[in-house]
Amino acid sequence: AVAARAGRDVTLYARDADHAARIAAARENPRLPGIPLADSIAVTADLAQAAGADAMLIVVPAQHLRGAVMHLAPLLAHGTPLVACAKGIEHGTHKFMTEVIAEAAPQVRAAILSGPSFADDVARGLPTAVTLAAPDEALAAALVQALGSATFRPYHSTDVRGVEIGGAAKNVLAIAAGIVAGRNLGASALAALTTRGFAELVRLGRAFGARGETLTGLSGLGDLILSCAGPQSRNFAAGLALGRGEPLPAGKLAEGQYTAPVLVELATSRGVEMPVAQAVAAILSGALTIDAAIETLMMRPFKAEE
Ligand SMILES: NC(=O)C1=CN([C@@H]2O[C@H](COP(=O)(O)OP(=O)(O)OC[C@H]3O[C@@H](n4cnc5c(N)ncnc54)[C@H](OP(=O)(O)O)[C@@H]3O)[C@@H](O)[C@H]2O)C=CC1
Ligand SMILES: O=C(CO)COP(=O)(O)O
């Protein structure tokens, strides 16, 4: 929808032919009910047709990115920009999204799009600003020109890792924020949790050489603020359910669930302390109860604020 609004010729690919046919007939994606698909958007289940594009946005969940790109790789021309929109880190390999793309389709140019942007808001044409990063600044700037419009404002960057870390970490921290809300711990606790969560995100980013302005920018602090603000975030909603002792919302992808253990492994391997992320991973795995996790966080030794 964004690319069509920016004046591009767009093909939307769905892996399931019936699903693609239903979207084409209804001119609406059931995942975004009530938002009509622009007339100009072609819908296909033919991957080769989609792969002929000048650039592609790939929007499958993080743990399925490698499989999807491997499927796509034989169809892609050398140098095609492939923009990852998933926010996560691959299990087992600890790879970030652009690294997964580079391994699965070495001939393409990988980029990452991230930042505070609920799909529903973006598709409705509400004002949104995001970060689009690629190692090659000219490519990042060209993709911004191709996708930007009066309602969608991407900023270009070459800090790929900084953008990827912000997007992956904020989902885990949003689960923690939801837990705080679900347990009725109060607005002060929510502010403290979000702020100390941000300190973790920054520590991990620094360990990977991320730039300060990326971590305090749209894809870092910006997305953390959005996702820790309320249940429109599926990660926050998952945390809310956990905090209330309810089952996790069915059929709603909460990437932080999958990112939490791998984020903790990655941080540990770099000697970076991420106590909030650790608490989320421990709660999700059943290693700690929520009450024990809260106590563990509050009883850490007092220290200088950093
Ligand atoms: N929704 C949002 O507001 C935002 C989401 N993101 C990120 O985008 C990523 C995807 O999220 P979202 O779109 O919400 O997730 P959804 O679960 O709504 O949709 C996932 C899509 O990926 C497809 N898919 C799933 N597995 C595979 C696979 N193995 N091969 C090919 N296609 C597959 C699904 O196809 P099918 O319909 O056939 O199952 C579906 O179209 C996540 O990393 C999320 O963090 C980022 C910013 C905002
Ligand atoms: O990444 C998002 C907003 O920027 C979407 O957040 P959720 O996946 O938590 O809904």
Candidate from 233, 253, 280 with most ligand 2 atoms within 8 A of CB, to mutate: 233
Candidate from 63, 165, 226, 257 with most ligand 2 atoms within 8 A of CB, to mutate: 226
As annotated, the binding site includes 15, 87, 115, 117, 119, 170, 223, 233-235, 252-253, 255
As annotated, the binding site for NAD(+) includes 119, 234, 252
3-class secondary structure, 215: helix
With a Cβ cut-off of 6 Å, ligand 1 is lined by 14-16, 19, 31, 59-62, 64, 67-68, 85-88, 117-119, 253, 255
- Distance, CA 89 to ligand 1 centroid (Å)? 15
Sheet bearing 109-114, strands edge to edge: 56-58, 81-84, 109-114, 128-133, 152-157
Q: Nearest-CA neighbor of 87 among 207, 209, 211, 262? A: 262
Report angle CA 70, 76, 77 to the nearest 5 degrees: 145
| pLDDT for the residue numbered 28 | 96
Does 165 score more than 90 pLDDT?
yes
Q: 29, 54 in Cβ contact below 8 A?
A: no
The secondary element (H helix, E strand) that includes residue 51 is: helix 47-51
Pairing of the two strands 152-157 and 56-58: unpaired
Could you report how far apart the first and last alpha carbons of the chain are, in Å?
41
What's the pLDDT tens digit per position in 196-252?
Answer: 999 999 999 999 999 999 999 999 999 999 999 999 999 999 999 999 999 999 999
With a Cβ cut-off of 6 Å, ligand 2 is lined by 87, 116-118, 171, 174, 223, 226-227, 233-235, 255
Compute, in degrees rounded to 10, the torsion defined by CA atoms 210, 258, 281, 224: 50
Q: What is the ipTM of this complex?
A: 0.97
Q: Nearest-CA neighbor of 203 among 215, 221, 217? A: 215
Angle between helices 160-182 and 187-207 (to 10 degrees): 160
| pLDDT for the residue numbered 228 | 98
Q: Which amino acid type is present at position 142?
A: A
- Distance, CA 233 to ligand 2 centroid (Å)? 5
DSSP 8-state assignment for residue 116: S
| pLDDT for the residue numbered 306 | 85
Mean pLDDT, the chain, as a whole number? Answer: 97
Residue identified by tokens 């991420």 is: 274
- Distance, CA 111 to ligand 1 centroid (Å)? 17
What's the pLDDT tens digit per position in 59-93?
Answer: 999 999 999 999 999 999 999 999 999 999 999 99
The secondary element (H helix, E strand) that includes residue 144 is: helix 137-147
Residue bearing the CA closest to ligand 1, atom 8 = 86
Residue bearing the CA closest to ligand 1, atom 45 = 87
Question: Choosing from 109, 156, 161, 170, which is the catalytic residue?
Answer: 170
Does 114 score more than 90 pLDDT?
yes
What's the pLDDT tens digit per position in 269-302?
Answer: 999 999 999 999 999 999 999 999 999 999 999 9
Candidate from 131, 223, 242, 258 with most ligand 2 atoms within 8 A of CB, to mutate: 223
170 labelled catalytic: yes
Summarize the confidence of residues 120-125 as an average pLDDT: 96
